[in-house]
Structures are given as C-alpha cells and as structure tokens.
Amino acid sequence: MTTKTIDIGTAAMTASSEKTYTAWSRLLRVLKDLLANPSSGFGLVVIAILLVTALVAPWIAPYEPNMINLAKALQPPSATHLFGTDELGRDVLSRIIHGSRISLTIITIVSVIVGPLGLLVGTTAGYFGGWYDTVMMRITDIFLSFPSLILSLAFVAALGASLENAIIAIGLTAWPPIARLARAETLTFRNADYISASRMQGASKLRIIIKSIMPMCLPSVLVRVTLSMATVILTAAGLGFLGLGAQPPLPEWGAMIATGRRYMLDNWWLVAFPGGAILLVSLAFNLLGDGLRDALDPKQGH
C-alpha cells in the first residue's frame, strides 16, 4: 500500500515536471521564432544593447557623467561631444550611457516586485477560489481601473519623491494584469490529473501551488512582464520628468529631459537625445511584446 502511494506520488511529480518542461521548451522555441522575425529581432537586439551598455557603462562612456565644466556648457553636438553638453557642461552622451543603468535597474526591480507578487496573488486566488478569490480580484480591479501613471503619481506623492519610491510605486501599479493572467492560467489546470494526484497524496496546498502550479504559470507570466515593460519605462520616465522620480543630478533620462526643458528652445539636443533613448527602448519592448503575442497566439497575428 505504501509503495503504491509513493508510486502514484512520483508519477504525479514526474508528470508535473514534464508539463513544466514542455512549457519551458515552448518558450525556447518562441525565442528562436522571435529572433527570426525582423521586428521582434530588432527589439531583442536593442534590449541586448541596453543590457551590455548598462554593464560596461563606465568603460564606454567618453566622459564622467557628472563632471561639471561650465566653460563647455551648452555646446551643440560635435566630434568631441557627440550629443553635445548640458547647462553644466556635462557630456550628454555619457549621461545617457550611464542612464541606461538606471533604466535597467528600474526594469529589473519592477520585474522582481511585479512577477512574484502577481504570481502569488493570481495562483492563490485561482487555486483557493471562494471569498479570497473575490476579494483579491476586486482589489486588482480597483488597481486596473486607474491609468498607471496617475496611480504611480499618487503613491509617489504619498511616499516621497525619489527613484526608489518611484520604482516601488510602479511595482505597486503593475502587478494586477499579471495576477489576472496567473489566476486564469491556474484555473485551467487546477483540476488536472497530476495536481489531483499530488493532492490525494497529501501534499499541502502551499506545496502544490509552489511546486506544481507556479512553474506552469511562469512562462506566460514572463511574457506578460515583458509586455508591460514598455509601459514601465514610459511611466518611470514620466515620473522622472515631473520631478517625482529620479532626482538630479542622477542621469535618469526623464529627469534629464526635465532639466533640459528650460533650455530646449535653443538647445534641442538636451531633450532630443534622452527622449530618443526612451523611445528606442520602449519601442524595443513593444516590438518584442508584439512578437511574443504573435508567437503565442497565432490567430491574432499581424
């Protein structure tokens, strides 16, 4: 009797890990498709460039990002300063290069907050159901009914203006769609055989959620997180621009535009280049997101 139970249990675990494995290998195949498609491939390449730039910023930036040189203030783009200099004589290109680190930090931390939070809320709501589900879904609805920038603004206003708080605020507003998705996924295989098997075998609810359900949701959650990164980038830049995100002298792109605004009518490069960087990165995430959507849902494809 005992051996038999163990047998069923092992079978259940194998089935579960096999399902997880197929979900992951599907993701790998999707990645391959993405690189083959020119537009999502472009997105991937830009994101890769962002990553590399952020990693090696101090070595590739031609100048110190915060080096003030009033004698060289507000110089237009030239051979020595490819993107010109700002009102304090700082090299705009170097600041943009260093700014990529901030963007990457924002993206990383927001993903780290949003992914697990959304996954946790979604899977537990989907698995437990009942009033817990109802309450959780009402909460996500309330969050979803706000435009993300305004809600982030409100949180930042409550927490105080700083880069850290901006990241927390964005994280707080970006999880609901992910929770929604994780819940929907959980509902589809809550009653699958291998999950019933581990349930019958006496695995605790928490164990089932963590060991069997979460790994199954992970690939689609990853996709959804990628999709929301374009919005995250734009919201972070918007907060920086309004003076509620990263504070000067941090070379955050939105904040750079905010300071450049005062001089922009005569010195277009102060806003043009940082904004171009934001546009490029958010475009890259949108292209990648489109590609992912197409790869996962061929019916809706372009």
Partner 1 sequence: MNNARFSAFGRQAGTILVTLIGLLILTFCIGRLMPVDPVRAIVGEEADRATYEMVAERIGANLPLYQQFFKYVSDLLHGDFGVSIRTGQPVINDILHVMPATIELATFAIIVGAGLGIPLGILAAVRRNKPVDHVIRFLTLIGHSMPIFWTGMIGLIVFYAALDLVGGGGRVSDYYIGLVPETTGFLLIDSMLAGDWEVFWDAVNHLLLPASILGYSSMAYITRMTRSFMLDQLNQEYVTTARVKGLSKSRTIWHHAFANIRVQLVTIVALAYGSLLEGAVLIETVFSWPGFGQYITNNMLVGDMNAVMTCVLLVGVIFIGLNLLSDALYKIFDPRTR
Enumerate binding residues for partner 1 (CB under 8 A): 138-139, 141-142, 145-151, 153-161, 230, 234, 237-238, 241-244, 254, 257, 261, 264-266, 268, 271-272, 274-275, 278-279, 282-283, 285-287, 290, 300, 302
Q: CA angle, 112 as apex, 176 and 280 as ends, to 5°?
A: 85
The helix/strand/coil state of 151 is helix
| Closer residue to partner 1 in complex, CB, 89/276 | 276
| Closer residue to partner 1 in complex, CB, 17/162 | 162
| Closer residue to partner 1 in complex, CB, 84/238 | 238
Q: Please, what sign has the CA dihedral across residues 275, 239, 222, 290?
A: negative
What is the Cα–Cα distance from 91 to 61, expressed in whole angstroms?
A: 9
Q: CB 84 → partner 1: shortest distance, Å?
A: 14
Q: CB 183 → partner 1: shortest distance, Å?
A: 17
What is the Cα–Cα distance from 149 to 196, expressed in whole angstroms?
A: 42
| Closer residue to partner 1 in complex, CB, 32/302 | 302
What is the Cα–Cα distance from 249 to 138, expressed in whole angstroms?
A: 40
Q: CB 31 → partner 1: shortest distance, Å?
A: 21
Contacts of 49 (CB under 8 A, 6+ apart): none
270: closest CA among 88, 39, 51?
A: 88
Q: CB 41 → partner 1: shortest distance, Å?
A: 15
| Closer residue to partner 1 in complex, CB, 39/69 | 39
Token representation of residue 270: 């102060």
Q: CB 288 → partner 1: shortest distance, Å?
A: 11
| Closer residue to partner 1 in complex, CB, 104/271 | 271
Residue 217 half-sphere exposure toward CB, CA atoms < 13 A: 35
Q: CB 260 → partner 1: shortest distance, Å?
A: 8
